[in-house]
Amino acid sequence: MAENNNQGKTALITGATSGIGYELAKLFAKDGYDLVLVARAADRLQAVSEEFKQQYDVEVHTIEKDLFTPGAARQVYDETKKSGLTIDALVNNAGQGEYGRFIDTDLDREIDLVHLDIISVISLTKFYLKEMADRNEGKILQLASNLSKAPTPLMSVYAASKAFVLSFTEALIEEMKESEVIITALLPGPTDTDFFHKAGAEVSVTYKEMPIYDPAEVAKAGYKGLMSGKSKVIPGAMNKAEAAMGTVLPDGAVTAMMSKQMKPSEKEGGREAISHPASAAERASMHSREGDLRGHEGHVHEEQGA
C-alpha cells in the first residue's frame, strides 16, 4: 500500500524496469504517485507494472519506446497527452554507455547513445517543463553521473553526454529559480546495475576492483534530494570525496585518474562479469568492430534470469 498521500499525482520515469530507475519508481509508488514507466522490453514493463499495482495500489501506465530512435521522446509525450495525463514528476533516468577506445567503438552505437542520453533528455524536459512552468509546480530528476565532471578515457562519449546533462540541468535550475518547479541532478558513482554489462565495461578496474553502490541507496538519496528541493545530489561518501577532489585537481589530473579507473583490470579475480538476457541482447544488437579491449569479453560467463 502507498505510504503517503500523493493521490492523483503522476511520475513519469524513463528506464524504470531495472537498476536505479526501477528503485526510483518504487519510491514514487510507495509515496502514492501513479506511474508512467518507459522502457523497451515489453515483458519487463508488464512484470514491473503488475508488481507496483499489486504492492502499492497505484495506477501504472506503460509506454514501450526505444529512446535511441529520433522522435521517440515526442511520441512518449504525445501518448501521455492522449491519455489525459498530467506529469507531476519527470525522471530522465534511461541511459547507457559504451566502453572502448573511441577509434575502436562503433559510431552508430554512439549516435544511439547521444539520442538516449542527450536528445531524449532535452526533449522530455522541454515538453514537460513548459507545462510545469505554466502550472508553477512540478519536479524533474535528471540522471547525471560522477563522470559529469570527469573526462573519461574509454568512456569518452558517455562521460561527455553526462557532462551535458549536468550543465543543462544547472542552467535550467537557475532559469527556474523564481518558480516552484524543482529540478535536481543526481550524480551516482559506479552502481551495481546492468549498466556495466550493457556498456561492455566489466573488464574495467572500476567494475572489477572498486566498491560499487547499491542502486536502492542511490535512488533513495536522489528521491530524498528531489523531494527536499536540492539542486545536486552526490550519493555516497567515496563518491562525494572524488567529486570534491575533482574541484581542486587540474583537469588533466582528473582525466589521468579516470584513465586508471577505466583501464582493463590486470588483477586476478575481482568482481565476476555477468551476462544476462537484457545485456546479452544489448551487446548482440550492436555491430561494433572488434577493438583490442573487446578480447576481455571472453571472461564473461552466462547467468540465467533477469
Ligand X SMILES: NC(=O)c1ccc[n+]([C@@H]2O[C@H](COP(=O)([O-])OP(=O)(O)OC[C@H]3O[C@@H](n4cnc5c(N)ncnc54)[C@H](OP(=O)(O)O)[C@@H]3O)[C@@H](O)[C@H]2O)c1
User: Residues in the site for ligand X, rule: CB under 6 A?
Assistant: 14-21, 39-41, 44, 65-68, 93-96, 116, 143, 145, 188, 190-191, 193-195, 198, 215, 278
Q: How far is the CB of 269 from ligand X (least distance, A)?
A: 21
Distances (CA, A) of 227 to 23, 134, 138, 164: 15, 20, 10, 23
Would residue 22 show up in a list of annotated catalytic residues for this protein? no
In the complex, the smallest distance separating the C-beta of residue 298 from ligand X, rounded to whole angstroms, is 22
Cβ closer to ligand X: 6 or 18?
18
Burial tier of 298 (Cβ tally within 10 Å: 0-12, 13-18, 19+): exposed
Q: Which region, left, alpha or beta, applies to residue 71 given φ > 0 means left and ψ of -120 to 50 means alpha?
A: left
Instruction: Kindly state the smallest distance separating residue 47's Cβ from ligand X, in Å.
Output: 11
Q: Which is nearer to ligand X, 66 or 79 (CB)?
A: 66
Give pairs for 6-10: CB < 8 Å, separation 24+.
6/31, 6/32, 6/33, 6/88, 7/32, 8/34, 9/33, 9/34, 9/88, 9/89, 10/34, 10/35, 10/36, 10/59, 10/85, 10/86, 10/87, 10/88, 10/89
Residue from 33, 99, 158, 213 carrying the catalytic annotation = 158
Identity of the residue, 67 or 300, whose beta carbon is nearer to ligand X in the bound complex = 67
Q: Which is nearer to ligand X, 10 or 206 (CB)?
A: 206
Sign of dihedral through CA atoms 146, 151, 152, 157?
Answer: positive
Q: What's the min distance (Å) between Cβ of 139 and ligand X?
A: 17
d(CA 199, CA 117): 13
CB 73 → ligand X: shortest distance, Å?
10
Minimum CB distance to ligand X smaller for 119 or for 295: 119
Q: Which residues are catalytic?
A: 158
